[in-house]
């Protein structure tokens, strides 16, 4: 397979477990560090897939690289190239394909259950648990682009995962590792302590509790989702 290009938007939101997944399968990957001023390629003929990571910005912000990424996503999807988005990345995919990105009813930060939407999830992701714990850090959500299949949801956010042609968007952070969780908490401790009494925002101690065990427990879920993303043809 040709190399996978991974678009990083802020320094602390790198590939995480996704890099381990790709390395274990002998799939090369290259970082496009938007946070360091790297340009968005117009059409990466050398790429076998595109991955868009998270970030603290909004898809609706007037940042010069957002329009370039949206155009690239549309072109890649038109060609059937595997495209994957985590959190902000999922919102970029939704926006590129005609959806609207807007405020979620609540800010969602911490470990909360995700459930599959049936029968679509069983058909496209056979063997994946109906309910599992995922890691979340977002204040926005998106409407589903035309032709999308909703795969996952939870009580805080109606659209947690969707498929659209060769694209897979994940609102939650299936890629996080325990060190990533600890870094995010330290960078945002003031925000978490201020908002920690809200139903959908956990305190730093709640987020850090058993972070290693929880992140490891998500990896089989990540494997199944990433397997689906890299599948050339989908029923």
- pLDDT, one tens digit per residue, over 152-191 is 999 999 999 999 999 999 999 999 999 999 999 999 998 8
Answer yes or no: 87 catalytic: yes
Mean pLDDT, residues 88-108: 97
Alpha-carbon separation of residue 194 from 201, 203, 204, 218 (angstroms): 10, 9, 10, 28
- pLDDT, one tens digit per residue, over 65-87 is 999 999 999 999 999 999 999 99
Q: Counting beta carbons within 10 angstroms of the beta carbon of residue 30, is it exposed (0 to 12), middle (13 to 18) or buried (19 or more)?
A: exposed
Provide the pLDDT for residue 235. Answer: 46
Answer yes or no: 77 catalytic: no
Answer yes or no: 159 catalytic: no
> Taking Cα atoms as reference points, which of 60, 59, 96 lies closest to residue 81?
96
The DSSP 8-state label assigned to residue 109 in this structure reads E
Q: Counting beta carbons within 10 angstroms of the beta carbon of residue 130, is it exposed (0 to 12), middle (13 to 18) or buried (19 or more)?
A: exposed
Catalytic residue among 13, 108, 140, 175: 175
Provide the pLDDT for residue 72. Answer: 96
Catalytic residue among 9, 13, 87, 108: 87
Mean pLDDT, residues 28-47: 92
Q: Are 55 and 88 in contact (CB under 8 A)?
A: yes
- pLDDT, one tens digit per residue, over 126-156 is 999 999 999 999 999 999 999 999 999 999 9
CATH fold for domain 4-230: Rossmann fold (3.40.50)
Provide the pLDDT for residue 44. Answer: 75
Q: Where along the chain do its domains lie?
A: 4-230
Measured between alpha carbons, how far is 115 from 101 in angstroms, rounded to an integer? 22
CB-facing half-sphere around the CA of 25: CA atoms within 13 A: 15
Measured between alpha carbons, how far is 142 from 102 in angstroms, rounded to an integer? 6
Query: Average pLDDT over the chain, rounded to whole?
Result: 95
Q: Are 203 and 189 in contact (CB under 8 A)?
A: no
């Amino acid at each position: 397979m040709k190399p996978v290009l991974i678009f990083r938007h802020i320094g602390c939101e790198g590939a995480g477990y996704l890099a381990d997944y790709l390395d274990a399968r002998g799939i090369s990957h290259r970082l496009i560090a938007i946070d360091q001023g790297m340009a968005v390629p117009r059409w990466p003929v050398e790429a076998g897939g595109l991955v868009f990571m998270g970030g603290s910005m909004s898809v609706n912000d007037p940042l010069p690289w957002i329009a370039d990424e949206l155009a690239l996503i549309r072109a890649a999807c038109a060609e059937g190239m595997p495209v994957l988005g985590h959190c902000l990345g999922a919102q970029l995919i939704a926006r590129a394909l005609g959806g609207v990105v807007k405020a979620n009813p609540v800010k969602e930060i911490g470990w909360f259950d995700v459930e599959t939407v049936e029968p679509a999830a069983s058909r496209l992701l056979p063997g994946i648990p109906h309910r599992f714990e995922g890691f979340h850090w977002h204040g926005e959500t998106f409407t589903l682009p035309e032709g999308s299949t909703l795969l996952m949801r939870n009580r805080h956010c109606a659209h947690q995962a969707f498929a659209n042609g060769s694209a897979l968007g994940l609102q939650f952070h299936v890629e996080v590792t325990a060190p990533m969780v600890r870094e995010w908490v330290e960078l945002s401790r003031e925000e978490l302590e201020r908002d920690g009494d809200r139903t959908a925002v956990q305190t730093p101690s709640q987020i850090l509790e058993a972070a290693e065990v929880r992140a490891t427990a998500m990896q089989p879920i990540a494997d199944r989702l990433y397997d689906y993303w890299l599948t050339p043809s989908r029923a």
